[in-house]
Amino acid sequence: MSENKKIIEALLKFRNERDWEQFHNPKDLALAISVEANELLELFLWKDASEADLNKVKEELADVFAYTFLMAEKYNLDVTEIVMEKIKKNAEKYPIEKSKGRADKYTDL
Amino acid sequence: MSENKKIIEALLKFRNERDWEQFHNPKDLALAISVEANELLELFLWKDASEADLNKVKEELADVFAYTFLMAEKYNLDVTEIVMEKIKKNAEKYPIEKSKGRADKYTDL
Amino acid sequence: MSENKKIIEALLKFRNERDWEQFHNPKDLALAISVEANELLELFLWKDASEADLNKVKEELADVFAYTFLMAEKYNLDVTEIVMEKIKKNAEKYPIEKSKGRADKYTDL
Amino acid sequence: MSENKKIIEALLKFRNERDWEQFHNPKDLALAISVEANELLELFLWKDASEADLNKVKEELADVFAYTFLMAEKYNLDVTEIVMEKIKKNAEKYPIEKSKGRADKYTDL
């Protein structure tokens, strides 16, 4: 089994043992991803990047991963496939010569 | 190479070709995760879970994954490891007998 | 009429002319606030605080205000009242002598 | 003094007593708005709109207001003015005849 299939299996086992599939519709999963992303973000609030607590970063990042993997599973999406496709798309939006060393959004290039 | 190492390699190649490492400090990566999570969330705004546009979901979910993988790389964290550890921790916060079929936060169990 | 009542009246007029009340349940309003907050946040992504585009900041901040006012209206809450009450509560969580000059969360003081 | 000037004065007093102005640059204020918006959002996670705890909604909504007011103050923006301007702009993006009863984004109208 692939690495990400194993992660997803572990997440589903945890979820199903608690009978939580009933709550995990895609809209609430999207909410959960945003909520967890902001618990991660909060670790950097009022601080320099280097001041965040690494142990907490680990846990909150894991939570973001957990719900993004569950969302991928919900739609039966292959993680490698969607990320690789997006990289290709972004390569067109951000051609190297135009975007090199610039932080601008593609709409401002 | 493991599945997620390959994903991360592809993301780093894309980033380095554009000389963007200078922008990718952990604080801004955390911002990016939240921003992308909310572009995903917006696809469900004012809608039922079933009404979201699947093609857009795919792309926005891929963006969330991209920055979470880059964050993991930045801290040299193994994705499988941190997710598995978090599942263990959550199993303690949410014992099956207390949390089965309930959507409550562990602080309210 | 108070300043905020006037703002809310203008927002309700705009909403009702478009027959959008049907979409504005509290859960979706909370989603909208997060989505708009992140459009504001995106203006600072990969940038120093001073580099954000002021005209865009104005617009995105206005959007956050719009949905927070609509949320207050939905629950029939008085903005001055809830903010003043929260300041009182925070004054207890963050006593001056303990929190002066420190960015820590009250749980870490 | 106007209603919102009074709210802002109270927020500044609270902040200055704690010597927190040093942390309140616009980028971190934008982070704070997103973080608070997601604490509000979390109250609706896995739930119907009607199931959120009203007392907590009040507090989290107040927190979102607090940071949006502080952001407006930071840029010396008048809340009524920016919201009224945005309503005008949105009226152009969402003409009544095209958007009536529809939840679509203006780009999809």
| pTM of the predicted model as reported, rounded to 2 decimal places | 0.97
- The runs of H, that is alpha helices, within C3-93 are 3-17, 26-42, 54-74, 79-93
Q: Residue A84: which pLDDT band, with cuts at 50, 70 and 90?
A: very high
Whole-angstrom CA distances from B38 to A63, A64, D38 are 16, 13, 10
Q: What is the mean pLDDT of residues B60-69?
A: 98
Q: Which of B70-74, B93-97, B101-105, C23-27 bottoms out in mean pLDDT, i.e. has the lowest?
A: B101-105
Q: What is the mean pLDDT of residues B28-33?
A: 98
What are the structure tokens assigned to B81, written together? 């490891």
pLDDT averaged over every residue in chain A: 96
pLDDT of residue C63: 98
Q: Cα-flanking dihedrals φ and ψ of residue D81, to 5°? A: -60, -50
pLDDT of residue D54: 96
Q: What is the mean pLDDT of residues A58-83?
A: 98
Q: Which of B25, B31, B48, B60 to mutate to test the interface with D (most CBs of D within 10 A)?
A: B31
pLDDT greater than 90 at residue B106? no
pLDDT of residue C35: 98
Q: Residue B105: which pLDDT band, with cuts at 50, 70 and 90?
A: confident
| CA atoms of A25 and A37, how far apart (whole Å) | 18
pLDDT greater than 90 at residue D105? no
pLDDT of residue A107: 86
| CA atoms of B47 and C35, how far apart (whole Å) | 14
Chain A from 33 to 92: CB within 8 A of any D CB: 34-35, 37-39, 41-42, 44-46
Q: What is the mean pLDDT of residues D63-87?
A: 98
Q: How many inter-chain contacts (A to C, CB under 8 Å) are there?
A: 9
Residues of chain D with Cβ-Cβ distance to B34 below 8 Å are 34
| CA atoms of C33 and D61, how far apart (whole Å) | 10
Nearest to D29 by CA among D62, D69, D81: D69
pLDDT tens for D23-72 read 999 999 999 999 999 999 999 999 999 999 999 999 999 999 999 999 99
Q: What is the mean pLDDT of residues A43-59?
A: 96
pLDDT of residue A106: 87
pLDDT averaged over every residue in chain D: 96
Nearest to C24 by CA among C15, C36, C14, C35: C15
Nearest to B31 by CA among A103, C25, C4: A103
Q: What is the mean pLDDT of residues B39-55?
A: 96
pLDDT tens for A92-108 read 999 999 999 998 888 88
Q: Which of D45, D67, D107 to mutate to test the interface with A (most CBs of A within 10 A)?
A: D45
Q: What is the mean pLDDT of residues B66-78?
A: 98
Give the contacts of D48 (CB within 8 A, at least 6 positions apart): C27
pLDDT of residue D1: 80
pLDDT greater than 90 at residue B76? yes
Q: What is the mean pLDDT of residues B57-80?
A: 98
Nearest to D36 by CA among C83, C49, C48, B67: C83
- The runs of H, that is alpha helices, within B1-109 are 3-17, 26-42, 54-74, 79-93, 96-99
pLDDT of residue D64: 98
Residues of chain A with Cβ-Cβ distance to D42 below 8 Å are 31, 35
- What DSSP string describes A29-78? HHHHHHHHHHHHHHTTTTS-GGGS-HHHHHHHHHHHHHHHHHHHHHTT--
* D42 burial via Cβ count (<10 Å: 0-12, 13-18, 19+): buried
Give the contacts of A14 (CB within 8 A, at least 6 positions apart): B87, B90, B91
Distance from CA of D33 to the nearest CA of A (A): 10
Q: Could you list the pLDDT tens digit for every one of the 109 residues in chain C?
A: 899 999 999 999 999 999 999 999 999 999 999 999 999 999 999 999 999 999 999 999 999 999 999 999 999 999 999 999 999 999 999 999 999 999 888 888 8
Give the contacts of B45 (CB within 8 A, at least 6 positions apart): C28, C31, C32, C35, D103
A84 and B17 in contact by Cβ < 8 A?
no
Nearest to B72 by CA among A101, A31, A40, A102: A40
Distance from CA of B43 to the nearest CA of D (A): 10
Q: Does the predicted interface ipTM exceed a cut of 0.90?
A: yes
